[in-house]
Amino acid sequence: MEKGSRKLTVYGKTKQFNQTVPQIRFEGQWLKALGFSEGDKIKLDCEENRITITKLSEENG
């Protein structure tokens, strides 16, 4: 798998009243290699079938 691409699975998480909602988890050393660290603020840009994640800088976080 190339460095800039990951294949993950969308899981279901059961919330109260037995309602299931989609859940996506990102974890691994590959995040660190891309410049993400614990405590970083991120921005999600959402559109149909696409989510773009951008690390925010200290000035715009």
Instruction: Report the CATH number that the domain containing residue 17 is assigned in CATH.
Output: 2.10.260
20-23/11-14 β-pairing: antiparallel
Query: What are the tokens at 59?
Result: 């000035």
Beta-bridge partner residues of 55: 42
> Do the domain assignments include residue 17?
yes
Question: Is 60 among the domain residues?
Answer: no
- Residue 51: what pLDDT? 95
Residue 30 covered by a domain: yes
How confident is the model at residue 61, as a pLDDT? 66
Residue 1 scores a pLDDT above 50? no
Q: Is residue 5 one of the residues assigned to a domain?
A: no
Task: For residue range 6-39, list pLDDT tens digits in order.
Answer: 899 999 999 989 999 999 999 999 999 999 999 9
Give the three-state DSSP class for 7. Answer: coil
Q: Is residue 15 part of a domain?
A: yes
Residue 48's domain comprises 11-55
Going from the C-alpha of 56 to that of each of 2, 16, 29, 38, the distances in angstroms are 24, 32, 19, 13
Q: How many CB atoms lie within 10 A of CB 36?
A: 14
pLDDT at residue 52 is higher than 90:
yes
Report the domain count for the chain: 1
